[in-house]
Each structure stands twice: as structure tokens, then as C-alpha cells.
Amino acid sequence: MSYKEKLEKCGVNWPSLSRPDLPFAPTKRIGDTLYVSGQIPEVADEIAYIGQVGKEIDVEMALQSAKICAANIVYWVEKSLDGDLDRVVQMAKMNIFINAVPGFTAYSQVGNGASEIMNALFGERGEHARCAVGMGGLPANVPVEIDAVFHVR
């Protein structure tokens, strides 16, 4: 089964993104380490979810946001590896930032959406260290932003 098919089986379409006109790159490779900049729940050129978790966004919508962020991470990894995701040796770390109201505590539950995507796509190579933390706000008022680090060949 292809990576695209695995992603669609998780309920997320393969992304179609364009590089943003920002003063940083979507990915940066240093040796065998690939850093992926923070990804938001962007589908094509639209933001799929906007709002704060616990206010405009419920846990299920936040979980879906995390899945979209994870898919966008994989998209940029594929681009940086010339279309060959088999060059991923191991996902090392994922940081999940959640724009949530004070008192919200289901950060791990939201983060599981992204972790499940990586595990489904990469199997053991997708097992990673991570943190899921609450923020008082995120760019464009998105509910979730995720960055990641991969070991690649």
C-alpha cells in the first residue's frame, strides 16, 4: 500500500501545498537530520480549522486538525526527499502546540491524532518522542501547529 493510500485510510487526503512566501523553509536538512517547520491545518491554500480548542473548536475537530498537520509534515518530508519516503530511517520527535482555553487538559488526546498518522504511515519507523503542550494562541488562530524531526538517508 502506498503512503498516499495509507494516509487516505486514516481519513486524510494527500496534501497539495505550495511553499509559503515566508522568511524560512518548510524543511531544513543538516546531515541525516531533517527538520520540518511548524505545520498548520492547511488544506490546499485554505485553513481547515480556525479557533481555540475548548471555545470554537472541540476535541474531535482539534484531533482532525492534528491529523492534517501531520499529513502536511509528511508532504514536506516527501518533497525534501525527492518523492521517496522510504528514505525516512526514523521519525525522531514531534512537538504539538495546541491553542486552548485555560483549564483544557486533553493535550495528549489531540496529539494522538498526529502520532497515529505517523505510526500508520511509517510503522516502527514512525514511533517517535513527542510533547503536546497548550498555548495561549497560534498563528492565524489555528487550533494546532506541529513541527517534527526525522532521521533520513
- Domain ranges in the chain are 34-152
Torsion of CA 126, 121, 112, 73, to 10 degrees: 80
Instruction: Report residue 72 CA to chain centroid gap.
Output: 6
**Angle (nearest 5°) at CA 64 between 62 and 66:** 70
pLDDT of 94 reads 98
pLDDT of 15 reads 97
Per-residue pLDDT of the chain (153 residues; tens, 9 = 90+): 999 999 999 999 999 999 888 899 999 999 999 999 999 999 998 999 999 999 999 999 999 999 999 999 999 999 999 999 999 999 999 999 999 999 999 999 999 999 999 999 999 999 999 999 999 999 999 999 999 999 999
Q: How far apart are CA 131 and CA 16, in angstroms?
A: 27
pTM listed for this prediction = 0.97
**Fold exhibited by the domain 34-152:** 60s Ribosomal Protein L30; Chain: A; (3.30.1330)
